[in-house]
Amino acid sequence: MENKNWSNTSVEEILQEVNTDTGLTSQQAQQKLQTDGLNQLAQAEKESLLIKFINQFKDVMILILIAAAIISGVLGEMVDAFIILAIVVVNALLGLYQEGKAENALEALQKLSAPTSKVIRDSQELSVPSEELVVGDIIVLEAGDLVNADLRLLKTSSLKIEEASLTGESVPVEKEADVLVGEDKALGDRINMAYSSGNVTYGRGLGVVTATGMNTEVGKIATILSETKNQETPLQKQLNDLGKVLGIVAIIAVVGIFLIGLFNGKEPFQMFMTSVSLAVAVIPESLPTVSTIVLSMGVQRLVKRNAIVRTLPSVETLGSTTVICSDKTGTLTQNKMTVVDYYNNEQPVDHLALAGFLVNDSRLNNEQKWVGDPTETAISAWAVDQGVNYDQALKDYKRIAEVPFDSARKRMTTVNMVDGKKMVYVKGGVDEVLAITTRYGLNNEVRPITQEDIDTIQQKNTSMGQDALRVLAVAYKEVQGEVEDGDPNLESDLIFLGLVGMIDPARPEVKEAIADCKNAGIRAVMITGDHATTAQAIGREIGLLEDHHRVITGVDLDNMSDEDLARDVESIGVYARVSPEHKMRIIDAWKSHGNIVAMTGDGVNDAPALKKADIGAAMGIVGTEVAKGASDMVLTDDNFATVVNAVEEGRRIKDNIKKAIGYLLSCNMGELFTLLLATVLNWQMPLLAIHILWINLVTDSLPALALGVDPAEEDIMDREPDRSNSLFTKPMAYRTLYQGVMVGILTTIGFMVGSGWLFGLEGNTQLGQTMAFGVLGFSQLVHAFNIHSPQESVFKTLFKNKQLIQAVLINVAMMFAVLLVPALRDIFKLADLELIHWLIMFSLAFMPWVIVEIMKKLGLNGND
């Protein structure tokens, strides 16, 4: 079939090309399948395991470490080179494992919910896999079916299709096959078309497939996704920036120390080895590993809290989020129409409930879930809640005639046998029902309806409408004699019974989640394809929309330049009737103010924005495959409140990574100070390269890792987002400097004692290096407990983190092994210590507690 403007082509013209009775032959379908390919969205080409592994080595600090390993190897220090490369490979394997685990979890989520479609082929109605649909297939649609390809409808019988996942419109669209629609109309207004990802809620239909796979409207959005580039997360940028700074410091230190050594008459080779040791001391080799593992553990915690994070740094990004742009339907709301108000002039509600239940085609399925048109399922569920006995009503009140709903009348009528009487029930639009109503029920009596009655009804209708409720009227009468389907006389001389108002309500937990966002300094914004009135009502109900916030539509956005939008974006709380392109502009406008933007959503129409945002969070249950594929995080319980949990976890992770950085850098600063002082004073080196590597890669790593699981601070969600975009703040720099100098001085004192320069003790260079090694290692382990809090006493937080206690005990045992086991002592070129040296070593090692406690008491510890 040739390409054409399907929505503007008449059914008669289409029927000249297709036969709805016979459909395609199996042979024709097979040929088209071979030509056009499967009816599925193109999968992004997966990176090979090798490429994924290589990608783990892109960080600046990793590259610097590899260079250090190569230099060490060239200079014959194979042990040093091996240790550096080992830590780099372990870091890469951890990242690879975690990303693979997240991908596997997502694959379990991304299963099609409707794998088959009903088609007419070879003059028979068959059920075929949806991926085998081809252009020209005749599709049979019934209530409950998913639309699995784009269709031009050929026949419709009260057909309604929910297209929320594509258009954002929560109310099903009434479809009409016989009308012609211009190509310039929006997708939601093309009522003679059905689109892939739609859900048939009512009626029946017949259509011809006009597009499959990537040629569908869903496929076009998927194409937009492939053109949107992924960007670095804030954590990746900050770690890279830190790596660059440390790299520059390392180069300056290496060159400076090398030149100073040459000036002091040292051998060039000896000074080169010292310079390499210094470079190793400057760069915290275990930081990439610690960061990866801390993020990985955060990801595992989030899985238990119903969130799957696809890439490690993304969870930290959520912790830095300043704006959450959220879809309404199914994210802030339940995506389930619910009766929330009714009016029956103080008459018994049971009559209104029974009437609403009987003039209704929705039913419970085998899983005890309501199926059918959302407005009808809402009324039926409400009727049962009001006391209607479901089984008895279906059994005792048989339907004997009906006048189906159509868009011209905007009414539906049924005739049911109720207690031996033929009762007519009508439901529909308020004006359409009042037009055929002549009587009014009041105090169990029926009298002619008056204008005052009509005004009262309309006032209540208006009041419900202002609350964004969809309002239907219900009327009834008793008839005698024979009744027939479609009899127009059934819809006359009716008695007004009441109004029911329904809405897609907010999720019960969303209001608290929005309040938590406000307390955390995060701005929540609603972006929806739904009507402005409905969006505004929901926004006010959940506390998202405040008095000074504006509500604008997609048309308003079209009339705004990017500059105007960027200027006004902070005053706009709700965007209604928007397209995917609008969402991209909104995100760009927020980003232009330096905000970190998160986007939550579940529909196909959310996918481009999910990818464009700093972090996209898709719904795992009702979310479309395209949305999940574009997201950074999938919420497995479809709960907006899970986003708030992720924000809290992200903040905790960033806090703990900063603790780990502060700890590692203060330790490395101590090493740098020790080596720099010795070089300037023309001493022998207090520490060898292998000593520094052992401290940095082994002794430092476990405590840093344990700090990564520190419990969250009590006020973590009561503070503003961290807008510094820095992992290394000024207070941290101050603490790192003075605490590093503290460790360096203690280490230097240890070296001087071992060298025989203090307290009248005998010594030598090897003994001095052993004392320096011991003081450095043990003092850093003691210092780890200072890092819990820059304000609180170490004695209050000492037992805050059991993992840190365990890590320190393990590293103490490892230090004892190196100092006491002769074979290990020889590898590390250490001397055997006497009791006096052990006593002095531990006296110096516990000094960080004393010094930092004094600084905290004096308020000089640098509060964040």
| Torsion angles phi and psi, residue 853, rounded to 5 | -60, -40
Helix locations, 386-497, DSSP H: 390-396, 430-434, 451-466
Q: Please, are residues 177 and 156 in contact by the beta-carbon 8 Å criterion? A: yes
- For tokens 């009016």, the residue is 343
CA distance 144 to 377: 12
* Tokens matching residue 640: 């907006």
CA distance 263 to 283: 25
The residues facing 413 across adjacent strands are 403, 426
Q: Which of 340, 339, 342, 344 is nearest to 497 (CA)?
A: 344
Q: Which of 776, 763, 775, 748 is nearest to 838 (CA)?
A: 775
Q: Residue 236: CA atoms inside 13 Å, Cβ hemisphere, count? A: 15
| Torsion angles phi and psi, residue 118, rounded to 5 | -90, 120
CA distance 792 to 786: 9
Question: Which H or E run includes 802?
Answer: helix 802-820
CA distance 709 to 686: 33
Please work out, in degrees rounded to the nearest 5, the angle formed at the alpha carbon of residue 666 by the alpha carbons of 663 and 671. Answer: 125
* Tokens matching residue 420: 């031996």
| Torsion angles phi and psi, residue 613, rounded to 5 | -65, 160
**CA-CA-CA-CA torsion for 805, 810, 811, 815, nearest 10 degrees?**
140
By 3-state DSSP, what share of the chain in percent is helix, strand and coil, each rounded to 5? 50, 15, 30
Question: Which H or E run includes 146?
Answer: none
Q: Which of 170, 129, 122 is nearest to 146 (CA)?
A: 129
**CA-CA-CA-CA torsion for 337, 340, 341, 344, nearest 10 degrees?**
70
Q: Please, are residues 471 and 465 in contact by the beta-carbon 8 Å criterion? A: yes
21 has catalytic annotation: no
* Residue tagged active-site, from 137, 145, 327, 602: 327
CA distance 640 to 542: 12
- For tokens 């929540």, the residue is 524
The residues facing 127 across adjacent strands are 118
CA distance 321 to 240: 20
| Torsion angles phi and psi, residue 526, rounded to 5 | -95, 130
Residue 615 CB neighbours (<10 A): 31
CA distance 669 to 743: 8
Please work out, in degrees rounded to the nearest 5, the angle formed at the alpha carbon of residue 274 by the alpha carbons of 239 and 269. Answer: 130
DSSP 670-701: HHHHHHHHHHHTTPPPSS-HHHHHIIIIIITH
Buried b (16+ CB within 10 A) or exposed e, 572-602: bbbbbbbbbebbbbbbebbbeeebbbbbbbb
Catalytically annotated residues: 327
